[in-house]
Amino acid sequence: MTYVFNTVEEIEKSLRCIAAILKKKGRDILSNYSITPPQFDALLLLNESGNMTIGELSNKMYLACSTITDLMDRMEKNNLVKRVKDEKDRRLVRIQLLENGQRVIEAALAKRQEYLREVLKNFSDQEIVQLEKLLAKLQQEMKE
């Protein structure tokens, strides 16, 4: 049991280290696009989930509505998003991802993936497939 405990400890440490490295590399990449990490996170959420209200985005990003409002104001000025009235309930305002925001996401993600490909260049195809499967399984278990 001690062996498994130590292994779990090492896995947690490795995941924490990997997350920190990815976060730093992600920030370095974003510095080329004049967009902040929270703005990028918001764009990703809008891209994945579709139009959302400030409240919905606030909940998903674990930030105050006032913070999201300020974030959206700056993003709207940079033509990354726009506010649109909800078609079913005109009282609701949704944030919509614009084409410029989509381009920023695609470019930044391409750079991130390029970085990861470079990191994985010494892995065999089999190791990469196994890594992907294990990470997907871990992610699924953590969601439940």
How many other C-beta atoms lie within 10 A of the C-beta of residue 7?
10
- The distance between the two most distant Cα atoms of the chain, rounded to a whole number of Å, is 59
Average of per-residue pLDDT across 103-117? 95
The number of domains in the chain is 1
Mean pLDDT within 103-125: 95
Mean confidence (pLDDT) of the chain? 93
Q: What's the pTM? A: 0.84
Percent of the chain residues topping a pLDDT of 70: 97
The C-alpha atoms of residue 104 and residue 80 are separated, in whole angstroms, by 8
Q: Say whether pLDDT at 141 is over 80.
A: yes
**Which residues span the domain enclosing 130?**
2-143
pLDDT band at 2 (very low <50, low <70, confident <90, very high): low
Give strand ranges (E) for the chain: 52-53, 81-85, 93-97
Residue-wise pLDDT tens digits, 17-26:
999 999 999 9
Confidence of residue 144 (pLDDT cuts 50, 70, 90): confident
Say which CATH number the domain at 36 has: 1.10.10.10
Determine the pLDDT at residue 33: 86
Sequence-separated contacts (24+) of 108-112 with Cβ below 8 Å: 108/26, 108/29, 108/30, 108/33, 108/35, 108/40, 111/29, 111/32, 112/22, 112/25, 112/26, 112/29
* pLDDT tens, residue by residue, 122-132: 999 999 999 99
pLDDT tens-digit readout, 33-82 = 889 999 999 999 999 999 999 999 999 999 999 999 999 999 999 999 99
